[in-house]
Structures are given as C-alpha cells and as structure tokens.
Amino acid sequence: MVRRLSILKQPIFSTLNNHLIDYPTPSNLSYWWSFGSLAGLCLVIQIITGVFLAMHYTPHVDLAFLSVEHIMRDVKGGWLLRYMHANGASMFFIVVYLHIFRGLYYGSYASPRELVWCLGVVILLLMIVTAFIGYGKLRQMSFWGATVITSLASAIPVVGDTIVTWLWGGFSVDNATLNRFFSPHYLLPFIIAGAAILHLAALHQYGSNNPLGINSSVDKIAFYPYFYVKDLVGWVAFAIFFSIFVFYAPNVLGHPDNYIPANPMSTPAHIVPEWYFLPVYAILRSISNKSGGVAAIGLVFVSLFALPFINTSYVRSSSFRPIHQKLFWLLLADCLLLGWIGCQPVEAPYVTIGQIASVGFFFYFAITPILGKLEARLIQNSNVCEDLSPRKLSHIFKNLLDVVK
C-alpha cells in the first residue's frame, strides 16, 4: 500500500521519475555523454545571470555602455553577474561543440535518432542568434560586428536594402536596433529551453546511444544514481574550468576593443566576431561573392540538418569505422583551422588556406553517402566471414539496423 502512495508515482513526479530517476541508460556511457546535461546547466546559468543583469541594464544608446560599467562597479556582485554571463556564453558554445562532435564520432545522429539531431541543430541556430544579438551594440567591436552581419541581409536581391533598413529601424545600428535586439535576446533562451525539452523527449523515445554504437538493451542501468553522480563529476569539473575564466581571466575570450564605446565614424582595423563564430565567419569570407558567402553559411546548416539522412553506414561508432574515424579527426582539425583563419586579416596566404579549409569542411558531408557503402564493401572484401557471401552480409547488416534501435 505504501508503495502506491510514493511521491514518485504521482502525476508530474512520475514523469520526473520515468525520465530522470528510473530511466534505463546504457551502462557503458563515457564522460563524452556528460556534455548534454552540462549544456542544460549552461542554459540555466545564462538565464539566471541574464535575468538579474537585466534589472540593472539600460538598453538606450546613450546609457547602455554606462549601465554596464554601473553593473561592473556599483551593483553589489555585478561584476560577477556580468563576467559569468559573458564567459558563460563561451562555455555554452564549448560544451555544445564538444557535444556535437561526440555525436559525429559515435554516430548518435544515425537512425533512429534523426529527430534528436535535427532538434539539436535548431538549438544551435537559436543559440547563435541569441549570442549575436546579446553581444551588445555600443562597443567598438559589437557595433561593427552587428553592422557587418545585419548588412548581410542586403545580399537578398531586390528587397535586400529595404530589409536591412527595416532590421535596423533606421539608417545604421542605433537606438532602435539596440532595443529591438534586447527584447528577443530575453525571449529566445526560453525558446531554447523548450527546444531542449523536445530534444530530450526525442532522445528518450529510443534511448541514448553508447560508445559501441550497438543495441544496449541487454545492459541498461538506472540513470539515478549512476549517471547523476557521473554528471555531477562533470559539473564540478566544468565549474572549475568556468571559474578559471570568470575569476582569473575574464576578458581573455573577448576583444579589448570592446571596452571602447562605439564610434560610427571609425571601424577598427580588424573586426572579429566572438571566437565561437569564427569558423562560420571564415567560410563566409572564403567566397568573394556576397550572396555566395551567405549561401555558404546556409549550406553549412543544411549539411548539418541533412547528415542523418545522407548517412549510409550500418555501423554507428567510429570505433568500428576506421576510415570515418580518420575523416572525423580531419574535420575537427579543419574546423580549428577555419577558426584560426577567421581571426586573420583577409590577405594571402590566409585567404587561400581558408578556401581550402572551407572545401574540406563540405567534403566531409559530401563523402558521407559514399563512405558508408565503401566501408561495408571493405568489410566484405576482407574475408572476415568466409562462409557468408557479400549479399548475405549486406542482408545481415540491414537487419541489424532494425534490431539495433
């Protein structure tokens, strides 16, 4: 009788129980699986610090810069709120990028988890927009960054310039732009939270992937306490890493030009966006044509969305895909290279390197449909299973996919 009265069996709590406590989780998850909950933690940190910062920030062109200095100097603990929010954004992107690369390596995007992956890309897009409009407008770097990126809309034929003027609410980034960016900056994180819940729900339809990439129904353990503790270790490690930036190097990820109030008459010599935008920025700059650059950025996200559907491999984890494994590390190196190129001036040899690196990035996605079939063929040809014809082997692989859900 007492068991039925247990709080974990009541409505709402039972949902909590079924998804966070008694949830069957593969027993072999490594620490690479901690980045999901860590991303959720980052979102919570950003929302809480953001809400408290908004109590002291003034989104008016004459007062914005001063209000931030007011927060830093006058508000009790304001410096901590501001540095946590600014560095928290960087942390959020670090965690999410690691989370994405985990997904690429272990094939977490593959069937049946396509929806999880696509929702993840949606979250990434929302994060990018939120971070961009939250970067402020009234500091040298922010102002010019905002001017450059909003001007991209003028690439749209015919109506481009009208759209840009509409976006700005005027003829340049000014008070109107600041206000209309601040409002969605407050709103979007809650949309992200909703998308994150959908992301988790989609994941829980089939359960988490695991480092082996195989069906884990044979050995699942409860989420609580095992992965609660494992995630807690991850959270503590993250807190230490985060604290190093917030307390010892709070401005190292930013740009010193951003402590200069915006000057519409003079652009800084090297405009750079925040580090987490650099790879995409590099791809944008690789193409000299304005619309081409914008199209290239669009293509990046189209490729990400399409990945689960163009994948032809029956094997998920790169542990068992030797060719894909090498390509994965090449992709990672390529992204780091693109990031570096993004903060270099647009001169030789950086331009050429950037163009090659951009091609390399898209090559990974282009090769994906072929790669799965190539690896399957290589397994067949390696005579691993002597008594099986290549045809029978393909048949087995195909059925494996149904079992391995």
Q: Which residue numbers are catalytic?
A: 204, 208, 230-231, 274
CA 89 to chain centre: 11
Among 48, 129, 193, 367, indicate the residue that binds another protein (CB under 8 A). 48
- Alpha-carbon torsion angle 374, 380, 381, 385, nearest 10: 160
From 19-27, 76-84, 143-151, 249-257, give the range in contact with another protein by CB under 8 A.
Answer: 76-84
Q: Which is nearer to another protein, 225 or 298 (CB)?
A: 225
On the 0-12 / 13-18 / 19+ scale of CB atoms within 10 A, 3 is: exposed
- Number of residues forming the site for another protein (CB under 8 A): 14
From 49-57, 173-181, 295-303, 336-344, give the range in contact with another protein by CB under 8 A.
Answer: 49-57
From 74-82, 142-150, 272-280, 319-327, give the range in contact with another protein by CB under 8 A.
Answer: 74-82
Residue 78 corresponds to which tokens in the numbers above?
């304001």
Please state the closest distance from residue 75 (CB atom) to another protein, in A.
4
Q: Which is nearer to another protein, 52 or 105 (CB)?
A: 52
Among 80, 191, 379, 393, indicate the residue that binds another protein (CB under 8 A). 80
**Closest C-alpha among 52, 271, 313 to residue 142:** 271
Distances in whole angstroms, Cα of residue 284 to Cα of each of 23, 88, 146, 341: 43, 26, 15, 11
Distances in whole angstroms, Cα of residue 361 to Cα of each of 37, 283, 309: 28, 9, 18
3 state SS for 155-216: HCCCCHHHHHHHHHCCCCCCHHHHHHHHHHHHHHHHHHHHHHHHHHHHHHHHCCCCCCCCCC
Q: Which is nearer to another protein, 4 or 73 (CB)?
A: 73
Residue 70 in contact with another protein, rule: CB under 8 A:
yes
Residue 55 in contact with another protein, rule: CB under 8 A:
yes
Length of the chain, please?
Answer: 405
Please state the closest distance from residue 62 (CB atom) to another protein, in A.
17
Q: Give me the 159-178 binding string for another protein, x by CB under 8 A, dash otherwise.
A: --------------------
Please state the closest distance from residue 56 (CB atom) to another protein, in A.
7
From 50-58, 254-262, 350-358, 364-372, give the range in contact with another protein by CB under 8 A.
Answer: 50-58
- Alpha-carbon torsion angle 240, 255, 71, 66, nearest 10: 180
Single-letter code of the amino acid located at 107: G
Residue 56 in contact with another protein, rule: CB under 8 A:
yes
Identify each DSSP E strand in 264-347 by its residue range.
none
Which backbone phi and psi does 23 adopt, to 5 degrees?
-90, 125
Q: Which is nearer to another protein, 8 or 233 (CB)?
A: 233
User: What is d(CA 73, CA 235) in angstroms, rounded to the nearest whole number?
Assistant: 30
Among 62, 74, 161, 219, indicate the residue that binds another protein (CB under 8 A). 74
Q: Give me the 206-245 binding string for another protein, x by CB under 8 A, dash otherwise.
A: ---------------------------------x------
193 touches 12 (CB < 8 A): no
Residue 57 in contact with another protein, rule: CB under 8 A:
no
Instruction: Please give the residue ranges that form the binding site for another protein (CB under 8 A).
Output: 48, 52, 55-56, 70, 73-78, 80-81, 239
